[in-house]
Structure 1
Amino acid sequence: MTHDPAPGWGVLSDMDGTLLDTESTWLHVVERFVHDHDGADAAGLAAASEGLDLDRAAALLSERLNLDGPRSAVVHDLDRRALAAYAESVTWRPGAPELLRALVDAAVPLALVTSSPRHWVERFTRSVDLSAFRVMVTADDTTRTKPAPDPYLDGAAALGLDPSRCVVLEDSQVGAWSAVSAGCATVVVGDLARSLPPGVHRVPSLEDVDVRMLRAIAASPVSS
């Protein structure tokens, strides 16, 4: 019995807001933090924190709220609040588990590339099955996190693929810039009105994405 060779392309996927319904929880955590520190424009600061890792989010909030004390204390507080919020439940975004199963069935190599720390990912695996991913790149694994290209460059390298042979699934502007800067074809899921880097593909939901679509995107030249 012969088997088809593995495809010469792969998928690198963001986690929060793209695969898992956790981004809204994180934004609520940030809003609550801003309110508790008597800050204004909680919604605006939460939106500015979308896609950022804990350190970058803490730096943003420390600066905007003129907080005294070390940034590490803000990181610890945000981490504590987020884990408490995530303890309730973590669920898939619509279409995510079906797409992952289809990619696994098609032998497409997968890497998870997230700005969340590894202990958050480990917490989420209690609620959802992330075993489809051959590789996981977290905020703990790169010197520079999104919007720098490093996380997606590391994800592609770990799969043994050139970034131009990888399709990225993202939901944030920060993540889209990271992926495009890495030289990956990029599909952004969600709000189609947001400002994004040129050349990205936009879809309302992962329910609108399938293996055939991603294969076609992978085969197309990446816009520079």
Structure 2
Amino acid sequence: MLFDMDGTLIDSEKLWDVALAELAVHYGGRLSDEARLAMVGSDMATTMRLLHDDIGQPERDPQVGAAWLTHRVAALFAAGVQWRPGAADLLRAVRAAGLPTALVTSTERALVEVALHTLGRANFDVVVCGDEVTATKPDPAPYLSAAAALGVPARRCLAVEDSPAGVASARAAGAAVLVVPADVSFAVAADVRVVDSLVGITVADLAAVFSGAWAVPRAEVG
């Protein structure tokens, strides 16, 4: 099992909303809804480029902005991160079933370490962070790295995602994909399964999704 973090296991996108909006104001601008949605599932470098372009200040140093944002989000994470509905129960069930499990996120290690206080470090055999791979989502590198670290081919894995970038990454790696909607609407391919939430999802359901035997509704996520 390969789990995305932000928006999939924990409801952290709202905290990113706060920090990104504050950074834009700090720079004397205002972050548009369109730019914020485009950032979901992306890495820090892409997020900084989108923010600076959106507020009309492309000349700003992305490393300075990234440091400010990391510090603010770390404080918000430390104050408490909420689980997405059903995510904690599903993760416990996956671990109880003895399934090798990886956390695969575009978020950088420093922030992931804070989030793991909520998620539980013991729930993951492998943790792949955005600043530890050669390329981030939508590139397949994060999921390929996670599968390799677990000692299995990606085609033997099921990824749980919430964003277009994450879905593209997992599919490109060859993994089966289950999408649980968060804040972004996007079209999904015929081989991608979608559920409204993780509430009530069982390990047997995951096996059915992986094998293609479970015809869960598809169409547009969000």
1:189 deviates by 0.5
Measure, in 2, the Cα distance between the counterparts of 1:173 and 1:40.
24
Question: Does the residue aligned with 1:131 lie in a helix, a strand or coil?
Answer: helix
SS in 1 for 2:206: helix
Structure 2 counterpart of 1:114 = 105
TM-score norm. by structure 2 comes to: 0.87
Deviates more, 1:100-109 or 1:188-197: 188-197
Aligned residue number for residue 150 of structure 1: 141
> How big is the shift at 1:203?
0.7
Shift in Å at residue 208 of structure 1?
4.0
| SS across alignment from 1:206 | coil
Structure 1 segments of 4+ aligned residues over 3 angstroms from their partners = 38-41
Structure 2 unpaired stretches of 5+: 214-222
Counterparts of 1:75-224 in structure 2, within 5 Å, are 75-191=66-182, 194-198=185-189, 199-220=191-212
> What CA distance in whole angstroms lies between the structure 2 residues aligned with 1:192 and 1:29?
16
Given the alignment, which residue of 40, 43, 47 partners 1:57? 47
- Per the alignment, residue 216 of structure 2 pairs with none
1:51 Cα deviation (Å)? 0.9
Matched residues in 2 for 1:130 and 1:95: separation? Answer: 18
Q: What are structure 1's unaligned runs of at least 5 residues?
A: 1-10
- Provide the rounded CA distance (Å) in 1 between the counterparts of 2:156 and 2:183: 25
Asked if structure 2 preserves the Cα contact closer than 8 Å seen for 1:30 and 1:45, the reply is no
1:137: Cα distance to partner? 0.4
CA-atom RMSD in angstroms: 2.0
TM-score (norm 1): 0.86
Does the 8 Å contact 2:21/2:30 carry over to 1? no
Please point out which of 60, 65, 90 is paired with 1:69.
Answer: 60
Structure 1 counterpart of 2:205, one-letter code: M
Instruction: State the alpha-carbon separation in 2 of the partners of residues 107 and 144 from structure 1.
Output: 30
Question: Matched residues, percent identical?
Answer: 36
* Aligned residues between the structures: 211
- In structure 1, what is the equivalent of residue 13 of structure 2? 23
Shift of 1:159: 1.1
